Amino acid sequence: MTRRLAALRLLLVLSFCNVALAQPTGTFTPTGSMTTPRFSHRSTLLADGRVLIAGGLTFEAECYCSKILASAEIYDPSSGTFTPTGEMVTPRDAFTSTFTLLPDGKVLATGGHKIGQALASAEVYDPQTGKFAVTGSMTTPRWGHTATLLNSGKVLIAGGATDATAELYDPSTGTFTATGSMSNPWADTATLLPNGDVLITGGNPDGPAHSSADLYDPATGTFASIADMNANHPESTAVLLPNGNVLVAGAYFADPGSSSKIAELFNPAIDTFARTGNMTYDRGRNTATLLPDGAVLFTGGSHEGSIDASIYNLATAELYDPVTGRFRSTGSMTRSRELHAATLLNDGTVLITGGDEIVWPSGILASAEIYTPAVLVPVLNVTDLQFDRINAVAGSSYSVNVSGSNLTAQTFFDVRFISPGSNESVVVLNWQKGLTASHEVAAGIATGSWKITGVRAHEIETDHTGNFFPVSSTITVSP
């Protein structure tokens, strides 16, 4: 009897340990299919919570070759369905072109290539009309470049195949102007840092991959070379974390000739990179999505087999925990995918669309699926901001009320505003904590109309990772 009781106690202890140590995984479930099979496309979350899917590549039966798409469609999370929207003026695929959500809610598409020739053209999608329209052309034809929305409201276009130059797009004029040049051509990733600088990492131009990194300073319009990364990460992903560090992970055919498990962190306080935990799979051409709880979701991609050196596309997914610096597996997608797209939705789930599965051309996917985290944390959504008055006198005070969903008294708010007589915006971090707060009007402040155009909400003081929700609220300062 004693032995049986001891064995039973041991079994109960082991069972409890297994339950306690088991980490819940997220789930992937199918949703509606796209109207067109596509890979290497772009997906952009619009201000109203829908998702724009545009461009990419598909299979052309007539020539038995890939075809660059001009088509676009909209995903509606409320119905789980895709519907066509206006086509792009010029076919573009995400591997060579970029798409950027602008402060006014429109989407900028730039560059790409056609029959091997780089494009300088650009266009803008308007969600209100459902149409793309031509805007000014870039100063340099580009493909494989990056595009980053700056705090000023302008867009930094950097690098491209064999090109180290950069330029700025001004949405108010629809024009591009040259700015400084990087230390190396191409640019794998570009990440806007909380201080307004942009981190540019690596690349793989017509030659070996390089591990260099640059910082772009919008105030001076110049790039400065910083310490190299610890590894080469061609076609990698970079994600700004809630603590202000940048996670760079994955690679496609990194040294010594395979995809990579290596991940590292950029610390903006000292401008250096340091290794963090390795990924559970070596992967490249994957997606990386920051979740509302601070974890980063990696899905799919390609990896090189250890036995026959064949390239396999993955259905696996994993999470990076910035607290522990470790990766762990989290479920698997319903299909293996590379060169697919992932978009964080406002309810905290992630939309996964398209991609190339196993065998080209039959492996090009129209299917889509939803990743639901084990613990669902919805996005903090700002819908409106109201001043308590229309006019304020210098030296007085005013109060601001913010409304939206999932907001609390502990929520921090960043604001994007335009000051009197200016066409460029400015971002103030942690401008207000709580839904209602009082602000002083400093003596000597510029008089005239001050307009807030966007608000970003976050629960962690150092977290400046989310999109600004477009709002429009104005207060006039009088002497």
Q: Where do the DSSP E strands lie in 32-144?
A: 42-45, 51-54, 57-60, 65-68, 72-76, 81-85, 98-101, 107-110, 113-114, 117-118, 122-126, 131-134
Residues 264 and 261: their CA atoms lie apart, in Å, by 10
On whether both 353 and 443 belong to a single domain, the answer is no
Cα 184 to Cα 427: distance, rounded to the nearest angstrom: 29
Q: Do both 180 and 306 map to the same domain?
A: yes
Q: Is residue 277 part of a domain?
A: yes
Position 208 scores a pLDDT of 60
Flag whether 3 is in a domain.
Answer: no
Of 324, 343, 372, the one marking the end of a domain is 372
What is residue 206's predicted lDDT score, i.e. its pLDDT? 53
pLDDT of residue 11: 33
Q: Are residues 134 and 76 in the same domain?
A: yes
Model pLDDT, residue 264: 96
Q: Both 221 and 171 in a single domain?
A: yes
249 neighbors 295 (Cβ within 8 angstroms): no
- Which of 224, 216, 153, 164 has the alpha carbon at shortest distance from 190? 216
Domain final position from 372, 394, 420: 372
What is the C-alpha to C-alpha distance for residues 434 and 101, in angstroms, rounded to an integer? 27
As for how many domains the chain has, the answer is 2
Q: CA–CA distance from 219 to each of 196, 197, 286 (Å)?
A: 9, 9, 33
Same domain, 319 and 397: no
Residue 78: how many CB atoms within 10 A of its CB? 8
Residue ranges of the alpha helices (H) in 155-310? Answer: none
- pLDDT of amino acid 424: 94
Q: What is the rounded distance in angstroms from the CA atom of residue 60 to the CA atom of residue 249?
A: 33
Which pair of tokens denotes residue 460? Answer: 């962690």
Q: In this structure, are 348 and 264 located in the same domain?
A: yes
- The CATH number of whichever domain residue 264 belongs to comes to 2.120.10.80
Could you tell me the residue range of the domain that residue 206 belongs to?
Answer: 27-372
Which one-letter DSSP state was computed for residue 249? E
Distances (CA, A) of 400 to 255, 332, 428, 442: 53, 45, 15, 16
Q: How many CB atoms lie within 10 A of CB 51?
A: 21
Half-sphere exposure of 381 (CA within 13 A, CB side): 17
The residue from 372, 396, 430 where one domain ends is: 372
- pLDDT tens string, the chain, 479 residues long: the values are 333 333 333 333 333 333 333 467 899 999 999 999 999 999 999 999 999 999 999 987 776 678 999 999 999 999 999 999 999 999 998 777 789 999 999 999 999 988 778 999 999 999 999 999 999 999 999 998 999 999 999 999 999 887 899 999 999 999 999 999 998 888 889 999 999 999 999 876 555 667 889 999 999 999 999 999 988 887 889 999 999 999 999 887 655 445 578 899 999 999 999 999 999 988 888 999 999 999 999 999 987 755 455 567 889 999 999 999 999 999 999 999 999 999 999 999 999 999 998 755 568 999 999 999 999 999 999 999 999 999 999 999 999 999 999 999 999 999 999 999 999 999 999 999 999 999 999 999 999 999 999 999 999 999 999 999 999 999 999 99
408 in the same domain as 385: yes
Which run of H or of E encompasses 15? helix 2-21
Do residue 428 and residue 288 come from a single domain? no
